[in-house]
Amino acid sequence: MSSEVDIAQQRAKVLNYLWPQGKAFHKQALDFANFYQSKIIVIKYGGFALGNQKIVKSFAKNISLFNQLGLKIVIVHGGGPQIEKEMLKQKIIDQEYQGLRVTTKRILTIVKRIVGRELNPMIVKNINQCGGSAKSINGITKKIIGAKKMLNGKIGFVGTPTGLDKDYILSLLNKGMVPVISPLGFDKAGNTYNINADTAAGYVAEKLKAERLILLTDVVGVLDNKKRLITELDEKKASKFIKNGTIKGGMLPKIKTCFNIIKKGVKGVVIIDGRNSNATVLELFTKKGAGTLISK
């Protein structure tokens, strides 16, 4: 009994230290931390959230908090805006095939450097500096996502996932570590492929049978016709919103992808606004959440 009290006191200390501004939610947070103990949560991290230092620090604190409370967290990150900035700097013009971007050998070199050698260690370092225990899986020195070229190579070195070293990820989680994965795949011939970060995160979540896949985006979630947040969405509701035009444009393929992921074994996918500090902790540790939860 005393060990249970010690654990509760230790967790309360961690919450006070890493999320002091969330004091009103600390009791809820401890209940949610207990609920998620044996479950896996995959977080897709990228876009604006990776380019803003204040948000980077806040995200690192959130992940360290989850890690120190014993949650099994896996991060799959992108780096689109940073890659685009570098391409602009080098005056590389985008090529397209059937509306899809082509990744040439030169672009792949940029992707590997920015995603694998710059952003990945930066994320790991920030989490570790906040007291967490993160491990780099950069897709270059450590490869875990098997891939094959998309469209027979007509869009260059763009890949689709074909396999995952699940045992390695699980071994890290069982040691209390946070795997931080770059969306770089490889084939048997030793070629490296650029995989869309949402696709990579969805694949990792599916293979790990995750309880949650959290997508950090540049939107607050799915909105209704009056621009109010829709906090929960099942297939029936989504179908209605698609028919009446509430869900449209860029949100449409995102929602369809979410339901495909759920059909493959992930319990729920959440779209949240990665531009907000503490978005991930508010989503997992409060009843209200922070975005739109998509489930069966």
What residue type is assigned to position 232 of the chain? E
What angle do helix axes 26-36 and 2-18 make, rounded to 10 degrees? Answer: 120
What pLDDT, on the 0 to 100 scale, is given for residue 36? Answer: 94
Which value, in Å, is the radius of gyration of the alpha carbons in the chain? 19
What pLDDT, on the 0 to 100 scale, is given for residue 1? Answer: 46
**For each of the chain's 296 residues, which pLDDT tens digit applies?**
457 778 888 898 999 999 999 999 999 999 999 999 989 999 999 877 888 889 999 999 999 999 999 999 999 999 988 999 999 999 998 888 877 789 999 999 999 999 999 999 999 999 999 999 999 999 999 999 999 999 988 999 999 999 999 999 999 999 999 999 999 999 999 999 999 999 999 999 999 999 999 999 888 888 888 888 889 999 889 988 988 888 888 788 788 888 989 999 899 999 998 888 889 999 999 988 899 999 88
Q: How far apart are CA 165 and CA 182, in angstroms?
A: 14
What pLDDT, on the 0 to 100 scale, is given for residue 219? Answer: 82
What pLDDT, on the 0 to 100 scale, is given for residue 2? Answer: 53
Tokens 């007509």 identify what position?
Answer: 154
Q: How far apart are CA 13 and CA 256, in angstroms?
A: 41
Tell me: the pLDDT tens digits for 97-143?
877 789 999 999 999 999 999 999 999 999 999 999 999 999 999 99
Q: What are phi and psi of 185, to 5 degrees?
A: -110, 170
Domain ranges for the chain, please list them. 21-295
Predicted structure pTM score: 0.93
What pLDDT, on the 0 to 100 scale, is given for residue 275? Answer: 86
What pLDDT, on the 0 to 100 scale, is given for residue 277? Answer: 84
**CATH fold group of domain 21-295:** Carbamate kinase (3.40.1160)
